[in-house]
Chain A
Amino acid sequence: MVRTLHVHDLILLRTESAVISAEGKPSCPHLNPNQRPWVVVRRGHIADGLIPVGVRGSQRHERWAGFTRLSEVLETRRPDQLRLQLAEESRRALQAFRTLSYLESHLVGLDMSWGPGGSVGYELASGIPAVRDGSDLDFILFAPEKLDRTEAQDLWRMISSAPGKVDALVETPYCAFSLQEFATASPRKILLRTSDGRILGSNPWNLSNGEDC
Chain B
Amino acid sequence: MEKIEFNYPEAKRLVTKRAHVGVVGSGDMEVLLEPNREEGARVFITTSVNGFGDAWKAVFDRFFSKFDGAVRIYINDAGATPGSVLLRLEQAVEVIEQ
Distance to closest chain B CB from A7 (angstroms): 12
Q: Quick one: given A61-B49, A185-B21, are A200 and B26 in contact (CB under 8 Å)? A: no
Distance to closest chain A CB from B41 (angstroms): 23
Q: Quick one: given A198-B83, A199-B87, are A191 and B22 in contact (CB under 8 Å)? A: yes
Give the residue of B23, B25, B78, B84 whose beta carbon is less than 8 angstroms from that of A198: B84
A118 at the interface (CB under 8 A from B): yes
Distance to closest chain A CB from B84 (angstroms): 5
Report the tally of A-B residue pairs with Cβ distances under 8 A: 41
B91 at the interface (CB under 8 A from A): yes
| Cα–Cα, bound, A200→B92 (Å) | 12
B39 at the interface (CB under 8 A from A): no
Distance to closest chain A CB from B5 (angstroms): 22
B72 at the interface (CB under 8 A from A): no
Residues of A within 8 A of B51 (CB): 61
A178 touching B87, Cβ below 8 Å:
no
Residues of A whose CB lies within 8 Å of any CB of B are 61, 118, 136, 138, 167-169, 178, 180-181, 185, 188-189, 191, 193, 197-200
Distance to closest chain B CB from A191 (angstroms): 6
Distance to closest chain A CB from B23 (angstroms): 5
Residues of A within 8 A of B26 (CB): 118, 136, 138, 167, 169
**Which residues from 15 to 66 on chain B have a C-beta closer than 8 Å to any C-beta of chain A?**
21-23, 25-28, 49-51
Chain A interface SS verdict (over half): strand
Give the residue of B78, B88, B95 whose beta carbon is less than 8 angstroms from that of A191: B88
10 nearest interchain CB pairs?
A167-B25, A178-B23, A181-B23, A180-B23, A178-B25, A167-B26, A198-B83, A198-B84, A200-B87, A198-B87
B81 at the interface (CB under 8 A from A): yes
Q: Quick one: given A191-B28, A198-B81, are A181 and B22 in contact (CB under 8 Å)? A: yes
Distance to closest chain B CB from A184 (angstroms): 8
Residues of B within 8 A of A138 (CB): 26
Distance to closest chain A CB from B83 (angstroms): 5
Residues of A within 8 A of B81 (CB): 198
Distance to closest chain A CB from B21 (angstroms): 7
Residues of B within 8 A of A198 (CB): 81, 83-84, 87
Residues of A within 8 A of B83 (CB): 197-198
A178 touching B49, Cβ below 8 Å:
no
B25 touching A180, Cβ below 8 Å:
yes
Q: Which single residue of chain B is at the shortest CB-CB distance from A63? A: B79
Distance to closest chain B CB from A80 (angstroms): 19
